[in-house]
Amino acid sequence: MKTTYLASAFSLIFTTSAFAQIDKIDAEAIQAAQNAWAEGIVEIGQAKINGEDAGAVASELLDNLYA
């Protein structure tokens, strides 16, 4: 019984601290992310049309968005 309470207490502590560190995402941040994706998709398409390495452009986009 003590083990169950102890495990529950640790679980609550670690879960609460994890949630406390999460930043809130607002509408502006969502819009900025969507705009970055949209611009990146256009850049990939333009690279393909221009005969450039679209894969490299896509890779750079992902690196920038998820860095």
d(CA 50, CA 37) in angstroms, rounded, equals 20
What are 15-67's pLDDT values in tens digits?
Answer: 555 555 667 889 999 999 999 999 999 999 999 999 999 999 999 999 999 98
The pair of three-digit structure tokens given for residue 43, joined into one six-digit string: 């850049």
Question: What local confidence, expressed as pLDDT, does residue 18 receive?
Answer: 55
Structure-token match 């968005």, residue found: 65
Question: What local confidence, expressed as pLDDT, does residue 44 receive?
Answer: 98
Question: What local confidence, expressed as pLDDT, does residue 8 receive?
Answer: 63
d(CA 22, CA 48) in angstroms, rounded, equals 38
Question: What local confidence, expressed as pLDDT, does residue 24 receive?
Answer: 86
